[in-house]
Every structure is written in C-alpha cells, then in structure tokens.
A and B are shown apart, each in its own frame.
Chain A
C-alpha cells in the first residue's frame, strides 16, 4: 500500500514540477463515454499498466472493509482535473462525473503480490457503472470479465491456515447487487464515517481532490482494533460494511426486513434481535432467530456467516471462505448481550 501512495505522490510531483513530457494520464474521454473497453489499459489509470503505480489520484483505506476472501485491497480515486469531491452533510461523499474508484484485489502470497483483479466504479453522466477486470497471465494488462469468472488460488490467511479456493470475480450484475440503492449503483465504502484518505497525502493534495477534506472525519471504529471502540460498536461497524449494502430498506435484501446500517436501532427486531427467519430456507439452520441474545450458537446470523454453502452463506456473493475473525467478533457481541426475552 505504501508503495502505491509513494507512486501517486511521485507522479503528482512530476506533473507539478513541469517535467518535459508529463506521464500519460487517465483518458477522460473513455472514462466518461458509455464504453466498456476490453482492456483496462484503455483507461490509462496505471503508469505502464503496473497495477502498483496509479497514474493519478489519491489513495484511501476504510476503517471497516468488506471481507473478500482475505484479499488485500488497494484503492485509489481518480477525479478529473478541476473537479472535486464533496462530503455532504449526511457524510455521503459526492463524486463528480468522471470520477473512477479503482480497487485492486490480490494476496501477498499469490502472483508475487500482483493483483488478481481490478474493479472500477465509474461515475458517468448517467450514473455509476461497475466494470470488473481480471489481470492477464503475463500481468501486463487486465481484461474485462463482464460475466465474472472463478480463479483458482491458494493463499494463507492471517492465522496461517492455507486456503485453496475458486475465488469468484463478480460479474457486472453482481457488482450492482451489492452496490445498489433503490435500483441505482452507488459506492459502498466511501462514506465519511468509514473513510481514511492516504495519511501520507499533503493538505494540498487533499484539497486538490476534496472541496472540504476537513469533513472527512471517520466516526466508525476500526472493526479489529479494540482500542477504537467497544465490541458492540465494532460489531455494528462490521455489519454496516459487510451486510448493510444489501440489508437496508432500499437494498437487495430489502424484503428480508433485516436492516443492519450503522444508523439502524441495534435493539430493534429489524436489527435481528429475536427476528424469525424470512425467506431464509436452509439459512435458518434449524434456529428460530437471527440473533438470540446471549446465545451465538442459536443465532442463525452467525450460522450463515460461518458457512460457505451457497444455499446458506451470507453475504450471498463475494466470499468463498469464512471470515473467522469477523465471525468471532460477532459471536462475542451476541454472547455479551443480556439474555432477554424476545
């Protein structure tokens, strides 16, 4: 990650230093057209098509990221020259037309750390478009995979366990299943409460991309840092990022009546406390409630998080392994709830 930030800084320095030939940059004509280029290089987002050297933009991370099979995610934002993003009063970050959110996925022990795939979320005049690209075997460019693909990989998770999975690069529709609000595509992570701009970026750089960078004050705890918040608040941050993109009244799981946003009442039945299964099928695991306070072993929310069976597992897309550390946090949260009547 540090390398990415350094490269961004270098590229910027180079551009502002009046170098004789500026590096080839982002092709805004392609970004803002309706095109779905077959090759990622058509966008000019990377220098020399090296996924570790963005040709422009500013890096960011998230306090609580969406779990995707233990991938390391390298994220940056490309915003066209002269335009800026703005943090709205409700903390939603508004990006101008021509913005590209770039997210590369990989593992440090797969392909020497080169990413397996890069996903683009492009703000076009008609709204956001999601495009998935898979890096070619020679690592020189990435190819559009509209229909998604399964890529066999073997990697070690932080606890040292080796996983051999058929990692699912999502298809274009699956991008939308998660990134959808009332039928329109929207970014998930970039909300002020969860968003960390590259800490190495200077104030000048921040102001170059954000109208009001001071408004980027993350309020959510870091899900795996006990110093940043209680078990309950960290569990809620985890649920917000990993579940609430579907589990909200305008999301893909609206019909479930289970709503897990940071802003939802964590004591309510719609947060899962004493909530009976709806359309859960085998996902109920023979249990009566999504969350049985004090009893994680009888909370089917945990059962679904700890499964990789497609008929049971939650989230429904984006995961072929169990996020043990995330599940452990939620188990602890439920175990510490007083056993109340439900």
Chain B
C-alpha cells in the first residue's frame, strides 16, 4: 500500500509555485467573503484564459447556483479540502444539476471541498486529461436517499486522473467514471456511499491503492445497455482496501446501484478482461468479490450482458459472506452453515479465481433465467488459463506532473 498523494502533501505548495507556466498565465483570486461570491467566482471561471489559475480563498462559500468551467488548461486551486480550507457549500442550492461542471480539456482541480450539492458534486463531461486531486466531496449528514447521485463524476472523457480524493454520502457512486477511456483512480477514500468507486461503460482503467469502506458496495465495474459507449473492458482493481461495506443501500429505486446487495466488496457486471488482484478484503457481509451478468430485460442487440475473462488472484480475504443480502442469500447461508464463500458468481460468462477461497456459483448461465431458479453450489474456477495480463495504464506526463 502506498498513498503517495498524502506523502507529497508537504511539498505540494512548493511545486505549485515552481510549476512552469506560460508568461501570460495569471492567478485570479476570489474571496469566499466577497459580496455576490457565487457570481464573482462564476465570472472568474468564465474570464480565465488557458494557463490561468482560479484561486479559491479559504473559508466557507455559501453557494446557491452550480458553477461551471469551459476554458481549457485552467487550474482551480483552493486552500485545502479540510477544515479551514476552501469549502464550497451548496446546502442552499437553487439551480444546476451539480456543484461544479467542467466541459473543457486539461483542467486541474485541487485542494477544495464541495459539500451538500442537490445533484452531483463535481462533474466533468468531454473533458480530456482532467485531474481531480486532493478534493473532498461530501454530504455531511451521511447516507441519505436525498443526497446527490455522484460525488466525482467524469464522463465521456479520455485520460482521467482521480488522485487523493475523499468522497462520502453519494446516493449512487462516490467516484463514478462513465463512458471514458484511460483512467486512473488511486490513493482515494470512498466511504458511506452506495457505491464507493464505480467504473461504468469504460475502457482501460486502473483502480488502485484506494480505501473503499462502509459503502453498500466497495468497487463496481459495470457495463449497461442502450448507452452511446458500451462494451466495458480492461479494468484492473488492485492493492485496494475493501472492507466493512455494510451501509444499507440508500439509492433511489430504479437506478442500477439500487440493486447492489449491502455487504459487497468488488462487483463486476457484464464487463470483459477485469483483473482483481492484491486487494485486502474483510468484513463484506455478502461477498468480497461478486461476478454477475446483466440480468434485466433490455432491447439493445449490440449489448453483451455477460462477464468474460475475469481474473481474481492474490487477494487477502477476511471474513465475508456472513450476511448475504441478495434474494434467497440468507437461506443459502443457513444451508451452508451460516455463511457463503467470499467469492460469488451467478454462473454467467466466465471467470478465473486463483485465490485459495471458496467460490459459490448460482448456476444461472443464461441471464434470462430468473434468480429465483438459482441452484447454488460450490465451484472451482481455478483451472483455466488466465488471459495475458493487462498493461499498466499510463497517463500523459503533463497530468502526472500536476500532482507530483
């Protein structure tokens, strides 16, 4: 385990000063206590030129309307994401679907907090090479169905870095990366969300060195039908701590995460080439690792509902399976002496599990078969030959330089 984001905290401000920048680049400072702070900050985000930094003053910003940034290569920097830092509080929000929306490329967001938005926390759409760093997105009253859906929400983007963020209370996913390519989520903490971290309909992602704890489900890798980008694949989930994901599901019904059983560690649905390795799992009441097909009706002929080429290896498994919250789970657990094995597979698609723990199959290879017809039995998934290991995700150097 390494949490280099935290280790580099002390040197961060020096780096900021020395960072090479075009001669014309300027710092636009906005104070939290300025009259009309909401309008002034939004103006600064509009008037910023590529290369500029918008500096958020320390203090609690009481904001009523969502902010947005549409200028490329702008840094939004606060005085910190914790107490005494730059706290953007949207408890009185009256408009916009998120707290901050970014729609331009090469944006760097760092050292501030976004609290209590009515919808999503920070969203970036079509924003390539975005860096989310040392941010906090939180619904401060803890898990509630009335909280916003996503905390940190990049979508339709190529090259995404999420590094050293903290997200709590999202009624869907704390960190949600959707319909994107070349993604790294690392050194972050997701707690008391429905889904801690979710990679959905995306290609090429590394999710590592995170802590996903006290969510309903820790880390989700999903693919859903009828969306512009689908066929999710090549996702590595490694060296994370995924424990005690015991928060009762509080997602609004209808959303796909509302179906995630409380007590799920890592859940893979309808993706191919997903590697889950060297994680530390403990105290996930349903399962440490769950591998399933998409079992809902859909009308998308191009959609592939099965999980394929999933590899589970080298993980540490603490206690799991003692309170399985999927339909019929309690009866299966009772029949198996009180708990089910830490790896749960619905029987659809294919997976290789090399961890020396038990696997329970529900033996439902056809996703059209209702779950009520499950015929649970232990399964041995250790025999096949794993596909070639996936490559490390490499982001452009300029992105890594921003957080060094």
Could you tell me which A residues sit within 8 Å of B by CB distance? 145-150, 166, 168, 171-174, 176-177, 183, 249, 252, 254-255, 257, 269-270, 274-289, 300, 309-311, 316-317, 320, 342
Partner of B118, one of A174, A288, A309: A309
Give the interface of B toward A (CB within 8 A): 38-43, 45-47, 64-66, 68-70, 93-97, 101, 103, 117-120, 125-126, 145-146, 148-150, 153, 155-156, 171-172, 176, 178-179, 224, 226-229, 252-256, 296-300
- Sampled A-B contacts (9; CB under 8 Å): A147-B38, A168-B94, A173-B103, A183-B126, A252-B103, A255-B125, A277-B256, A281-B252, A311-B119
Which residues of chain B are within 8 angstroms of A177 by Cβ–Cβ distance?
Answer: 68, 101, 103
Q: Is the CB of A284 within 8 A of B253?
A: yes
Secondary structure type dominating chain B contacts: loop
- Nearest chain A residue, comparing its CB with the CB of B90: A310
Knowing A148-B39, A310-B119, the reply to whether A286 touches B253 (Cβ < 8 A) is yes
Known: A282-B252, A310-B66. A269 touches B46 (CB 8 A): no
CA distance A279 to B45 in the complex (A): 25
Q: Which residues of B contact A286 (CB under 8 A)?
A: 252-254
The reply to whether A173 and B69 form a contact with Cβ atoms under 8 Å apart is yes
**What are the 8 closest A-B residue pairs judged by CB atoms, nearest first?**
A281-B149, A284-B254, A311-B118, A147-B42, A147-B43, A147-B39, A316-B97, A173-B68
User: Once the chains bind, are A281 and B148 in contact (CB under 8 Å)?
Assistant: yes
Chain A contacts of B118 at CB under 8 A?
A: 309-311
Partner of B255, one of A183, A275, A281, A311: A281
A276–B298 alpha-carbon span in the complex (Å): 9
Nearest CB of A to B59, in Å: 19
- CB < 8 Å neighbour of B94 from A277, A288, A320: A320
Q: How far is the CA of A112 from the CA of B125 in the complex (A)?
A: 41
Q: How far is the CB of A101 from chain B (nearest CB, A)?
A: 20
Residues on the A chain within 8 Å of B156, using CB: 254-255
A279 touching B149, Cβ below 8 Å: yes
A145 to B38, CA, bound (A): 12
- Which residue of A is nearest B299, CB measured? A269
Query: A254 to B254, Cβ gap below 8 A?
Result: no
Q: Are B148 and A282 in contact (CB under 8 A)?
A: yes
List the A side residues contacting B97 at CB < 8 Å.
310-311, 316
User: Within the complex, what minimum Cβ distance (angstroms) separates A342 from chain B?
Assistant: 8
The residue that A280 contacts in the complex, of B64, B68, B69, B255, with Cβ under 8 A, is B255
CB-defined contacts of B172 to chain A, threshold 8 Å: 279, 281
A276 is contacted by which of B46, B148, B153, B254 (Cβ under 8 Å)?
B254
Across-interface contacts of A275 in B (CB, < 8 A): 226
Asked if A146 and B43 make an inter-chain contact with CB atoms under 8 angstroms apart, the answer reads yes
The answer to whether A148 touches B65, judged by C-beta atoms less than 8 angstroms apart, is yes
- Whether the Cβ atoms of B254 and A300 lie closer than 8 Å is yes
Q: Decide if B228 touches A254 in the complex (CB within 8 Å).
A: yes
Residues of A near B148 (CB, < 8 A) are 281-282, 311
Q: Decide yes or no: A310 and B171 within 8 Å by CB, A148-B39, A269-B299, A281-B149 being known contacts.
A: no
Given known A255-B156, A280-B254, A281-B119, contact A317–B96 (CB-CB < 8 A)? yes
In the complex with contacts A149-B39, A269-B300, A284-B65 CB distance below 8 A: no
Given contacts A281-B148, A310-B119, contact A288 B254 (CB under 8 A): yes
A150 touches B64 (CB 8 A): yes
Task: Report which of A269, A281, A320 forms a contact with B120, defined as CB distance below 8 A.
Answer: A281
* Inter-chain contact B46/A282, CB cutoff 8 Å: no
Set A249, A252, A270: member contacting B226, Cβ < 8 A: A270
Chain B residues whose C-beta falls within 8 Å of the C-beta of A342 in the assembled complex: 297, 299
User: Contact at A147–B40, with CB atoms within 8 Å?
Assistant: yes
Given A275-B226, A278-B224, A310-B119, A166:B94 Cβ within 8 A: yes
Give chain A residues whose Cβ lies under 8 Å from the Cβ of B171: 281-282
Contacts of B96 in A (CB 8 A): 174, 310, 316-317
**Shortest CB distance A244–B (Å):** 15
4 A-B pairs besides A255-B228, A311-B118, A342-B299 with CB distance below 8 A are A148-B65, A177-B68, A281-B148, A310-B94
CA distance A279 to B256 in the complex (A): 9
- Per the bound structure, the CA–CA distance linking A148 and B36 in Å amounts to 11
Q: Please, which residues of chain A bring their CB within 8 A of the CB of B39?
A: 145, 147-149, 171
Given contacts A176-B70, A255-B228, A257-B227, contact A279 B253 (CB under 8 A): no
- Known A275-B226, A284-B252; contact A150-B65, beta-carbon cutoff 8 A: yes
- Contact of B255 with A284 in the complex, beta carbons under 8 Å: yes
- Pair A279/B150 contact, Cβ less than 8 Å: yes
Tell me if A277 and B255 are in contact (CB < 8 A).
yes
Answer whether A255 and B155 are a contact pair too, CB < 8 Å, given A269-B300, A270-B226, A278-B224.
yes
Asked if B155 and A279 sit within 8 Å, CB to CB, the answer is: yes
Q: Which residues of B contact A174 (CB under 8 A)?
A: 68, 96
Q: Which of B96, B103, B145, B172 has the most CB of A within 10 A?
A: B96
Task: Decide yes or no: A255 and B179 within 8 Å by CB, A282-B145, A300-B254 being known contacts.
Answer: yes
Taking the closest CB of chain A, its distance from the CB of B32, in whole angstroms, is 15
* Chain A residues near B70 (CB-CB < 8 A): 173, 176
Chain A residues lying within 8 Å of B228, measured Cβ to Cβ, are 249, 254-255, 257
Q: Point out the residues of chain A lying under 8 angstroms from B101, CB to CB.
A: 173, 177
Contacts of A270 in B (CB 8 A): 226
Taking CB atoms, residues of chain B closer than 8 Å to A300 are 254
Minimum CB distance partner of A298 in chain B: B254
What B residues does A316 contact at CB under 8 A? 95-97, 119
Closest to B68 in A: A173
Residues of A within 8 A of B299 (CB): 269, 274, 342
Most buried by A among B153, B171, B226, B298: B226
Contact A173 B224 (CB under 8 A): no
Residues of the B chain whose Cβ atoms lie less than 8 Å from the Cβ of A172: 46
Note all chain B residues with C-beta closer than 8 A to A287. Answer: 253-254
Q: Pick the contact of B254 from A168, A257, A285 — CB < 8 Å?
A: A285
In the complex, what residues of A have CB within 8 A of residue B41's CB?
A: 147
Measured between alpha carbons, how far is A283 from B145 in the docked complex, in Å? 11
